Structure 1
Amino acid sequence: MHARLPCNGIPYNGMVMISDETRAFVAAHRNEDVRDLALHAGRPDGVDLTIALEQIAGWQAARTKLPDWAAHDGVWYPPHLSMEQCSSQFTATYKEGIARRLVADDPESSVSLSSTLVDLTGGFGADFSYMARAFGRAVYVERQPHLCAIAEHNMPALGLSYAQVVNADAEEYLDAMPEATLVFLDPARRDTHGARTYAIADCTPDVLGMLDRLLAKAHRVMVKLSPMLDWHKTVDDFAGHVAEVHIVSTGNECKELLLVVDRDMHAAPRVTCVNDDQILTFSPSEATDAAKSTVAATGDEGEWKYLYEPNASIMKAGCFGPLADDYGVRMIGPNSHLFVSPEPVGDFPGRSFRVEEVSTMNKRELRTMLGDLTHANIAVRNFPMPVAALRRKLRLKDGGDAYLFATTDADGRHLVIRCRKAL
C-alpha cells in the first residue's frame, strides 16, 4: 500500500515533531557558526539541539545551493547526505526548462490539469519542486518516510499545494500508477554500504531494468545520472531510446548527465552542453565529427595569438569539430583539446587567453621564456608529465598572472605556451 503522509506540524525524521522552541532557536541563530553553537549553546529549554543544528546547517547550505528555498522561512531541511546529493537551483531550473519544452511538444498535454509529472526518486525534492511548476499535476514518490514527511511540509510552503507526496518504492509505484506526461528518476549512486557507485546497473532503482515499464507509463522519461559516465556508452545502454543528452556544468564543473528517453527509436541523440549561461547544442552527426581539418598546421605558431580552453561540458562531450567550425578556431593537436586563433573570439564557450610566447621543452628556450617568472598557473593537456612534476622541473610556484599550458602539437612536439587571461 502506498502511504500519503499527513503533516499536522513540523516533521523531522518522519516521527519527531520540531517544537516551537527549536524553531525559534533556529531562527535566532541561523547565521552563526554551527560548530561554535554545538560547543557553546548549552541546553536551552525546550530546544532539541541536534535537530536545531542540522536545520541551521541545512539553511546555510541552501543559501548558496537553493537560494529560493532559503528565502522561505517555512522550509525544513533533511539530514546532511540528502542536502549533499540534492540538485542546485541552477540545475533544477534547467530541468524545469526541459520539462516545459517537453510538455509544449506533447500534443496530448499542456500546462493544465492534463499534464502530469511523476518523480519516482523524490529525495529532498529540489528537482521536483522546480519541474512541478510545468505541470497541472505532480506526484513525488520516495521510499524514505522522513523525506516524505519533510516534502509534505515543504511543498505547500513553496507554493506547490497541489503536489502529491507518496511514500512508496519506485518500482512498486510504477507498476500501479496511471500514465503520465513525464517520469523523472535520479537513481541513488550509493550502494548498500553507503559507498559511491557510478555504473547505471549498480544504482537504485535499476533504470535499465525498468525501461520497458517506464516507457509503457510515459512517452518521455528524464534520467539524471553521474557526470562520471561515458555518455556514448550510456546512450548505447538505453538501446536506441535516447532522444537528448544534456551535459550540465556550473562554475566549469560537470555536475550532471541528463538523458531524455522516449518510446521512439533514435540512431543518435542531440547533445546539449551547458555551463552556466553558455549553452551549445550539437546534432548527432556533429557530436561524432572528428574534424581532422581543424588541426593547426605546424609552423603556424606566429598565428597563435589567442588560446582557448573549452568549458567542462564541451570537454565531456568531445564535440570539438563543430566547436572549431562554429568559432573559427583550430586545435593545437588532435588530442590537445586546446584551440588557437589569430584574432580574439569574444563569445568562446570556455576560458580565453592571450598568447605571449611558445616554447619547446628545450632548456634554453624555456629559460628564455620563463626567466622572469617565479609563479605561474600550470595546466597540461595531452602531455607526458603531470602538473606537479612540470612545476618542479620549471621551478615555479603556483599562482600569479601567468598561465602555462603544456601540450603536444600535431607533429608530436611537446610545447609550453605562455599566456595571460584575455580581457
Structure 2
Amino acid sequence: MKLISSAQTMLEKLKEANKIANQIQGSDIQSFILKKSKDFDAEMLRLVADQWLARNKAKHKLPSWYANPNVIFPPPLSVEQASSEITANYKAQVFVRNFGNAPCADLTGGMGLDSWALSKVTESVTYIEQNPNLAVVARYNFEVLAQNNIEVLNENSELFTQSTTGGVSHQPITNFYIDPHRRDEAKNKVFKIEDCEPNLLSIKHLLENYMVKFSPMLDIKLAIEQLGDNITEVHIVALENEVKELLFISRKSKIESKTSIHCINFLSNNQTQLFTFGYESEEKANIKYSQPSTYIYEPNATILKAGAFKSIAAQYGLAKLAPNSHLYTSAILVENFAGRSFLCEAVCKFDKKEILSKLPTPKANISTRNFPMKPEEIKKKLGLQDGGEYYLFATENMDKQKIVLVCRKAGQA
C-alpha cells in the first residue's frame, strides 16, 4: 500500500498518544488533561483521551486487542459501534464453514476487527479501506497482533471488485465479506440496502460468494427478496438478548432450495442459545393455543426479530397463549429453551387489588406482549418499583382477555 504522508504522520501521533494512555490507565483522564494542559498541545491531549477511553471500552468487548498494549484504537464511539470479538469470531466460523479457507477479501475494512478474525481461519485476507488513516492504523495493528496474512489496500471497494485478480496469495478471490457503511452524507443512520455504502445491490453480480452484515433494523424477508435466490443462510446475532447484527450468506453455486434462518444469542455466562428454522416451515407449522399453564416461556430477541412465532412452539412442543402475544406455555418444564423460562404463580385480571394480592413484595419486573399499556404505565398504576425476583407479563389470552401473569424464573421457586 502506498502510504499517504499525512496518514503516516497521524499514525506516529497515535502511537505516542497510545503510549501515554497506557501509562495512565489507572488514573483519571480528566485530571490528567487538566494537569498536562501546558505540556501537550490540544490535539495530542484529545488523542490521548480518545485512546484512554477507547481502551477502557474495549476491555470486555475486544479482550485480545485490549491485552496488547501496542494496539491503537479508533475513537471511542467507533469502538462502541464496532462488532465485539465474540461476534467477529462467530462470523469467521460461519464464513469458513460456508466458503472454506481460501483467500478472501474484506471490502469494508474499517478498524480491521473482522479482517483479523477472518485471517485466523482463512489462508489470507485482503483488507480494503478507502480512508487512508484507517488503513494505515489497521496495517500497523495487524503487525503488532502478528497477523501476517493480511494485505492492506487503501482503495475503493467497488473499484476493487471490478478489477481484482488476487490478494496476498495472488489467487483469484471469490469469497468476500462486506459490512456496508450505514450513515448518509449528513451522518444520519440508514439501514436500507440501497442507502448503504457500498450499495450491495449494485455490485452483488460481481461477487461469487459473500457474507454481508446489515443493521438489526433491516426487514429480513425483504432483504432476501432484494438480494436474490442465492441467499442460503441468514444469521440473527445477539449479545445478552440485544440483536446486534444480521448476516446474509450468498453462494453462487447454491444447492439448497431453501434459506435457513439461524438465531444465536450469546449470554454473559459463556452459554449460547441456538435456534434454526425456515420461513417455509414457519408458514406450514400447526400449533396449539392454550390458557396459561405451569410454565411460561419468552423467546429471546433473535427469535422475535426472525419471526419464528410458530416454529418456536412447534420445535419445543409448546402452546401459544394467543396469536399475537408471543408468549408460550407448558405443563412440564422444557429444558434449554431459547429464551427465558418462568414458573407461573398466578393468572390475574388487570385489576390492581388482585395483582398486588399475589405479589409478596412491592418490586417486580414488568413486560408487555400485545397489551395496550406500556410497562412504565403499568408500574405507575400498580405502585410498583423495578427489580426483584417477580416478573409480571401483561398480555392477552386465547379468548382475547387482558391478563397479567405473576411469575418467577424457573428454578427459583
- TM-score w.r.t. length of structure 2: 0.90
Distance in 2, Cα, partners of 1:414 & 1:12 = 64
Query: Residue 295 of structure 1 aligns with which residue?
Result: 289
Identity of aligned residues (%): 34
Going from structure 1 to structure 2, the CA distance change for 1:406 and 1:21 (only over 3 Å counts) comes to closer
Aligned pair partner of 1:328 in 299, 317, 322:
317
The amino acid of 1:50's aligned partner reads R
CA–CA distance in structure 1, aligned partners of residues 56 and 380 of structure 2: 40
Q: How far did 1:361 drift?
A: 2.1
Q: Report the Cα offset of residue 183 of structure 1.
A: 0.5
Q: How does 1:72-83 map to 2 (within 5 A)?
A: 72-83=68-79
Would you say the 8 A contact 1:14–1:148 is kept in 2? no
Q: 1:125 to 1:224 in 2, by over 3 A?
A: same
Q: How far 1:5 moved relative to its partner?
A: 4.0
- Give me the whole-angstrom Cα distance separating, in 2, the residues matched to 1:34 and 1:292: 59
Letter of the aligned partner of 2:275 in structure 1?
L
8 A contact 2:17–2:44 mirrored in 1: yes
How many angstroms does 1:74 deviate by? 1.9
1:165 corresponds to 2:167: no
- The alignment covers a number of residue pairs equal to 397
Aligned residue number for residue 53 of structure 1: 49
1:392 is displaced (CA, Å) by 2.2
Superposed, which structure 2 residues align to 1:86-97 within 5 Å? 86-97=82-93
Aligned to 1:420: 408
Structure 2, gaps ≥5 residues long = 166-171, 267-271
Structure 1 residue 417: Cα displacement: 0.1
CA distance in 1 between counterparts of 2:220 and 2:148 reads 37
Query: Of residues 23, 26, 32 in structure 2, which corresponds to 1:31?
Result: 26
The reply on whether 1:254 has 2:247 as its aligned counterpart is no
Three-state SS of the structure 1 residue aligned to 2:104 is strand
> Shift of residue 40 of structure 1?
3.4
Matches within 5 A, 1:27-176: 27-44=22-39, 48-104=44-100, 111=101, 115-176=102-163
In the TM superposition, 1:195-206 aligns within 5 A as 195-206=188-199
Residue identity opposite 2:192 in structure 1: A
Is 2:408 the counterpart of 1:401? no
TM-aligned CA distance change 1:253 to 1:19, over 3 Å? closer
Measured in 2, the distance between the counterparts of 1:373 and 1:19 equals 54
Structure 1 residues 44 and 392: CA distance shift in structure 2, 3 A: same
Letter of the 2:367 counterpart: A
User: Which residue, out of 369, 372, 378, partners 2:366?
Assistant: 378
- Deviation of 1:161 (Å): 1.5
2:181 is aligned to 188
Mapping for residues 260-409 of structure 1, pairs under 5 Å: 260-264=249-253, 268-276=258-266, 277-286=272-281, 288-289=282-283, 291-296=285-290, 298=291, 301=292, 304-362=293-351, 365-370=354-359, 372-409=360-397
- What's the counterpart of residue 225 of structure 2? 236
Deviation at 1:242, TM superposition (A): 1.0
Describe the shift of the 1:159–1:369 C-alpha distance in structure 2 as closer, same or farther (beyond 3 A): same
Q: Find the aligned partners of 2:355 and 2:284 in 1 and give their Cα distance.
A: 32
The one-letter amino acid of 2:105's match is V
**CA–CA distance in 2 between the matches of 1:35 and 1:311?**
40
Q: 1:45 to 1:238 in 2, by over 3 A?
A: closer
Q: Distance in 2 between matches of 1:12 and 1:82?
A: 21
Shift of 1:36: 3.5
Q: CA deviation at 1:264?
A: 4.2
Task: Give the Å deviation of 1:6.
Answer: 4.9
Task: In structure 1, give the amino acid aligned to 2:90.
Answer: Y
Instruction: Give me the CA root mean square deviation.
Output: 2.2
CA contact under 8 A between 2:180 and 2:196: conserved in structure 1? yes
Tell me how far 1:256 sits from its aligned partner: 0.3
Matched to 1:327, the amino acid is Y
Q: In the alignment, is the contact (CA less than 8 A) between 2:88 and 2:117 conserved in 1? A: yes
Give the CA deviation at 1:364: 5.3
Alpha-carbon separation, structure 2, partners of 1:352 and 1:279: 15
CA contact (8 A) 1:221 1:262 kept: yes
Inter-CA distance 48–344: structure 2 relative to 1 (3 Å threshold): same
Aligned 8 A contact 2:365 2:392 in 1 = yes
SS at match of 2:148: coil
Using the TM superposition, name which of 20-29 and 310-319 deviates more.
20-29
Evaluate the alpha carbon distance shift between residue 5 and residue 34 of structure 1 in structure 2; reply closer, same or farther with a 3 A threshold. farther
Structure 1, unaligned stretches of length 5 or more?
Answer: 105-110
Q: 1:354, 1:421 within 8 Å by CA — same for their partners in 2?
A: yes
CA–CA distance in structure 1, aligned partners of residues 309 and 154 of structure 2: 45
Give the 3 Å change call, closer, same or farther, for CA 33–291 of structure 1 in structure 2.
Answer: farther
Distance 1:205 1:19 in 2: 28
Name the amino acid aligned to 2:331.
Answer: P
Change (3 A) 1:148 1:339: same
Match of 2:89, SS state, is helix
Secondary structure at the aligned position of 1:397 is classed as coil
Summarize deviations over 1:268-326 as a string: whole Å, max 9, x none: 4110000011122224433x336452322x4xx4xx11111111111111213232222
Q: How many angstroms does 1:19 deviate by? A: 7.6
The residue that corresponds to 1:207 in the other structure is: 200
Bigger mean CA offset, 412-421 vs 131-140: 131-140
1:354-412 deviation per Cα after TM superposition (whole angstroms, max 9, x unaligned)? 11100122455335434x44221100001111112222222222222211001111111
